[in-house]
Structure 1
Amino acid sequence: MRNRHSSRAGTIVIYTILTLFSVACLLPVLLTLIVSFSAEESIMKNGYSLFPEKWSLDGYRTIFVNSAIIFKGYLVSITVTVVGTLLALIITALAAYPLSNPNVRYRNFLALYFFITMLFQGGIVPWYLMNVQLGLKDNLLALIVPMLMFNAFNMFLVKNFMESLPGALRESAYIDGANDLRIAFQIYMPLSMPVLATVSLFYALSYWNDWFNAIMLVDNKNLYPLQYILFQLRSNIQMLEMLPTGANSGYTMPAESAKMATVIMTIGPIVFLYPYLQRYFVKGLVVGSVKG
């Protein structure tokens, strides 16, 4: 009986800690959402508050003053994120598979070659010239291809996971007449879905939050991604705030509420994406515990 009560008390303590931790994580998001609907006068007077004196949609009106550009930016960002993530994931997996195969010659040298890219980079000027020479200018490929040269850290994550899979799988497939390409796509990649889901989230975040490629390689306004459009909008609001008093006819620019509104608009798709990928994270923990 005592063990039952102690177990129940321990469960209550664990759930209490998890609940408090969840509230602490959700509180900044909730505050950001409320501030985005707060009047600028209320923010200037009382700062960020969960209970503003006055509500307003001025922040969102400022962003959607030209809704066609915003929706077009959403379409560009979604297209670039989906296509870029899929291609980067395939390239990463195809690079990790041979490095996880102990039968591949010079695989340690190749791994060192990839590792060096984590320490040294060529610089912005060679990067820009190379992209221009490849024709990556004023097109969607300019927003996709420069980031397809996969992150070596992600590649090593996939490589280490594939190395943990039983080598007998590969040997059995060889005996049955399968080649390496078929083994990679039909055996190793499906079994590596937990780590691939994790890496795909990393790539999706990078593509979704990227605005640097748009600044450097895109001049066509129809190809601006959402992040770059919102970046320009925020810069314009800050510039208007610096105008002399009375230059804007007494109108208070919703700088803070618009800033929080841009945060809500940009994190929305990622918030919806994460719960779908979370089940693969849980599966990865289960697989790891069974192998242990």
Structure 2
Amino acid sequence: MYKADRITQWVSHIFLLILTVSCLIPFIILISSSLTSEESLLIDGYSFIPKEFSLAAYNYLLNNFESIGRAYGITVFITVFGTTASLAITSLLAYAISRRDLPYRNLFAFIVFFTLLFNGGLVPTYLVYTEIFHMKNTIWALIVPGLLMNGFNVLLMRTFFITSIPEPVIESARIDGAGEFRTFFSIVLPLSLPILATIGLLQTINYWNDWFNGLVYITDPSLFSIQNLLNRMLQDIQFLSSSGNNFGSNASSTSASIPTTAVQMAIAVIGVLPILVAYPFFQKYLVKGIAIGAVKG
């Protein structure tokens, strides 16, 4: 029996190792392609190791270093501020509806759950944010639509509070004279680091990768996030590439000098690399938080 268990364990490890390597292959090809010359990509295709090493794609992006740096700064700001505000709002609401003595607790929980099923639609949402709150072409247009609110995160954190925060601990804090806010900040939050890290990582990824809010609400290039800027650069490259086939020799020579495919890969690397670097540090909290928060609804 012991030998069979060891064989099963080895087979499982090998299988998971193969899956891990399979997940890494696209990123390796992505980085390799961004460091390959355009001619080599067109002739030889994609490979794990650049057949003709070239930094032309990154040099092209460095020519727009000022706008890329500004876009990175905007993205970092909205990610940090949005994630922090989202955690504050989500945890406060989740704690409130997790308390069994809250009046109309089930009604509030249903309202949160209802947002998972229905929303107002793009046109009413756009009119509210632009005509009532006047957020168009402001930094808040990149923060608020993703901030209010994610019902899944609220319910996930509520479940964590119900299943993982012992009721006697909260009762003992009340006996010692602690109010709701003191109990929440001094006892509940320190015990909730796994779920906070989990939701914080999910919100960080959402804010970092968000391009839709910028597409809808932002027309000022100085307020572009990194995703919007890279998307705009990609559209410009595609336009120049197509115009080279439609307009004269000058446009054709201009488009030929742009490493189109390699630049697309370099843009993807710039957009995804910070998340890839940060993810391993949050992985253990992500798995633990989701596992504990999903015990029961």
TM-score of the superposed pair, with normalisation by structure 1: 0.90
Q: Partners of 2:136 and 2:184 in 1: how far apart? A: 34
Q: Partners of 2:64 and 2:17 in 1: how far apart? A: 41
Q: Partners of 2:231 and 2:263 in 1: how far apart? A: 11
Show the 5 A alignment for 1:52-201: 52-132=50-130, 133-164=132-163, 165-201=165-201
Is the CA contact (8 Å cut-off) linking 1:32 and 1:260 kept in structure 2? yes
Q: Partners of 2:54 and 2:167 in 1: how far apart? A: 61
Q: Partners of 2:223 and 2:292 in 1: how far apart? A: 42
Q: Deviations over 1:49-90 (max 9, x none)?
A: 224432221221222221100011111100110010000011
Q: Counterpart of 1:215?
A: 215
Q: Partners of 2:119 and 2:199 in 1: how far apart? A: 22
- Alpha-carbon deviation of 1:256? 1.5
Q: Partners of 1:202 and 1:148 in 2: how far apart? A: 12
Is the CA contact (8 Å cut-off) linking 2:211 and 2:225 kept in structure 1? yes
CA RMSD of aligned residues (A): 2.1
Q: Partners of 2:123 and 2:4 in 1: how far apart? A: 64
Is the CA contact (8 Å cut-off) linking 1:198 and 1:277 kept in structure 2? yes
Quote the sequence identity (%): 37
Q: Deviations over 1:26-57 (max 9, x none)?
A: 11111110011111122222322224432221
- What is the number of equivalent residue pairs in this alignment? 286
Judged with a 3 Å threshold, the aligned counterparts in structure 2 of structure 1 residues 265 and 121 are, in CA distance, closer, same or farther, namely same
Judged with a 3 Å threshold, the aligned counterparts in structure 2 of structure 1 residues 141 and 69 are, in CA distance, closer, same or farther, namely same
Is the CA contact (8 Å cut-off) linking 2:237 and 2:260 kept in structure 1? yes
Q: Counterpart of 2:281?
A: 276
Q: Secondary structure of the residue that 2:135 maps to in structure 1? A: coil
Q: Partners of 2:214 and 2:244 in 1: how far apart? A: 32
Query: Aligned partner of 1:145: which letter?
Result: V
Is the CA contact (8 Å cut-off) linking 1:40 and 1:252 kept in structure 2? no
- Alpha-carbon deviation of 1:258? 1.0
Q: Partners of 1:215 and 1:13 in 2: how far apart? A: 47
Structure 1 unmatched ranges of 5 or more = none
TM-score of the superposed pair, with normalisation by structure 2: 0.89
1:263 to 265, 268, 276: 268
